[in-house]
Structure 1
Amino acid sequence: MNQLLAMRAFIRVIEAGSFNRAADQLGMPRSSLSKLVSDLEKHLGTKLIHRTTRTISVTAEGVEYLHQAEQVIAAVESADMAIRGKKHKPSGHLRIDVPVSFAHLLLIPALPEFHQEFPDITLSLGINDRTVNIVGEAVDCAIRAGTLSDMSLIGRKLFELDYVTCASPNYLARYGEPTSPKDLGNNHRIVSYFFAATGKPEPLIFILDGDRQDIYVSQFAANEGNGVINMMLAGLGVGQHLRRFVQPHIDAGTLVPVLTDWHQPRLPFHLLYPPNRHQSARLRVFVNWLIARFSL
């Protein structure tokens, strides 16, 4: 058995999420790929992957071995690049997890620049506002908004974004413009964001001269950012969103800022990735590109 080849096959299966997709990416028969992984499991004397007809899941031993195999492959790639004098740019596949609004409005429009610089790196974007298990789901890195809670991961701050409170012209023509957070809470319809994992709404926060008012009650809510924007555009109520994401609608006049004297704490965005001592060349260049492209 070629153990290095089997390691690469195992890693690719986890990255792709299935034997069929991994086989397609590697350009080999599924049966050959499956045999490589099976031979690796026999060599190690343990099960790395649970297989069903449609899905795979990584065992605890598989997760542990994945980290070791990634370090071995990264070390081999580094040695190869050193010998070749870095004539070849990094290549391979990355899985990235990104919040919905960040993906559609910032990252995807910028990806042609990354592809032009590193044409041999392919990407799979997990686009959702759900907090994924980066290690358990074999994600190379993730972009997350808010305060960091998982101290087992390496976090690099990208930037902070400002919020804006706004509503559609149709809504304001029908209900009038709120004069204060209290007026908003008592006399208006509110659009908010809720966390899918808990169902808890995120409050609308208003701060002015040390006075803070949080409004939890809402008539409409969505568990991802674009849903909140579209609800406001539809005239369902007043909501808060990151200004960088709604600015095109403000410029077009389809959303109007309100209660502009009040502000909400800025939202930090971080880049997270596992603390492997030896990062793959492709992940390293992607991390460096993200920081250079989006850091303030």
Structure 2
Amino acid sequence: MQVFAKLAELGSFTKVADALQTGRPHVTRTIQDLEASLGVRLFQRTTRKVQLTAEGERFYERVKAILATIADTTAMFDRSGSTLRGRLRVDIPTAFAQRSFMESLRTFTLAYPDIDLVLGVTDRTVDLVAEGIDCALRIGQLPDSSMVAREIGTATMVTCASADYLTAWGVPDTVQSLGEHRGVNFLSGHNKRPLAWHFSIDGEDLPYVPSVGITVNESNAYVQCAVAGFGIIQAPGITVESFLAKGELVEVLSDLRPRPRLVSVLYPSRTHLAPQVEAFVDWLKAHFPVLHPKWFSAPQR
């Protein structure tokens, strides 16, 4: 039933095999055996598409309810840290793949030692269902989707550049003076457009599009471009903290720091969360503001 439900959702034997981390022949054989045991055809198959038959639609509605009931029943005694177990696939942005964040994340694995944490790190937009990801952390405004999004905190943003760049180009003291400077643009993962910088002036948000010297689509490369002297960047403080401490990057326009960017955890929209996913989401909600107090804080209301 789990294989059947996943194929109904994804419409691809290959995607189901990837999501369940099994072989495509196993998925095919499972569906064939299921259809044979029921005596009905559940899917119409073409070279390009797999879709439910009318019988398959009716069966899917019942299967969803059955699987939800089973998940809820089997988890009723299994929600404490000492007994909670299973695989948990989490995707985080590259900006969070820092030592301080990883050390804090370690406290979750200590609290739930039987959960097998699989951590993905990417700045691209991921398809949680198709890629078998249980939940994902994301920074900033989220695109419209069917995913459930829970606000867990905010991340402080820093505008900075290398000391060598500032020596050569001067230190900007107003947003207007940025017009005389070069910037590094970061390409958004969901709409493929460069992200605007933001500044806070008298409590008002002022977006700004920099004059571009180079555009990148990965957080580490973005920071390294600033260190190399390509121009000014605006990035989450956690990603540039070590470079600021060593003087390789210098903050500018600190009095105009933008409103901290929202950090959310996303997971597929469904009534019954797997207990390990629910535990992780709850843990994030409670612990995110203290994962790095200097750069993270509770959601602003």
What range describes the TM-score normalised by the shorter chain of this pair?
0.7 to 0.9
What is aligned with 1:294?
288
Distance 1:251 1:69 in 2: 55
Distance 2:62 2:93 in 1: 28
Distance 2:61 2:266 in 1: 16
What is aligned with 1:158?
152
Deviation at 1:157, TM superposition (A): 0.6
What is aligned with 1:176?
170
Deviation at 1:231, TM superposition (A): 0.7
What is aligned with 2:215?
221
What is aligned with 1:207?
200
What is aligned with 1:275?
269
Does 2:88 match 1:94? yes
What is aligned with 2:241?
247
What does 1:1-296 align with in structure 2 at a 5 Å threshold?
Answer: 17=18, 21-22=21-22, 35-40=29-34, 42=36, 43=38, 45-47=41-43, 59=50, 61=52, 72-73=66-67, 75-82=69-76, 89-104=83-98, 107-150=101-144, 152-186=146-180, 188-196=181-189, 198-209=191-202, 210=204, 212=206, 214-295=208-289, 296=298
What is the RMSD of the two structures over their aligned residues, measured on CA atoms?
3.8
Residue by residue over 1:208-245, the C-alpha shift from the partner in whole angstroms, topping out at 9 and shown as x without a partner, is 23583623421112112222111111111111111232
What is aligned with 1:26?
none
Deviation at 1:47, TM superposition (A): 3.8
State the SS of the aligned residue for 1:22: coil
State the SS of the aligned residue for 1:167: strand
**Conserved in 1, the CA contact under 8 Å of 2:88 and 2:116?**
yes
Deviation at 1:177, TM superposition (A): 1.6
Distance 1:139 1:50 in 2: 27
Aligned residue pairs, count: 278
Cα separation, partners in 2 of 1:254 and 1:66, compared to 1, 3 Å? farther
State the SS of the aligned residue for 2:110: helix
**Conserved in 2, the CA contact under 8 Å of 1:95 and 1:124?**
yes
What is aligned with 1:54?
none
Cα separation, partners in 2 of 1:246 and 1:34, compared to 1, 3 Å? same
What is the TM-score when the length of structure 2 is the normalising length?
0.75
**Conserved in 2, the CA contact under 8 Å of 1:9 and 1:36?**
no
Deviation at 1:114, TM superposition (A): 2.1
* Higher mean C-alpha displacement, 33-42 vs 257-266: 33-42
State the SS of the aligned residue for 1:35: helix
Distance 2:149 2:205 in 1: 32
**Conserved in 2, the CA contact under 8 Å of 1:158 and 1:270?**
yes
Deviation at 1:155, TM superposition (A): 1.8
Cα separation, partners in 2 of 1:168 and 1:265, compared to 1, 3 Å? same
State the SS of the aligned residue for 1:96: strand
Distance 1:213 1:83 in 2: 50
Which amino acid letter does the alignment assign opposite residue 117 of structure 1? A
Cα separation, partners in 2 of 1:249 and 1:255, compared to 1, 3 Å? same
Gaps in structure 2 of 5+ consecutive residues: 290-297
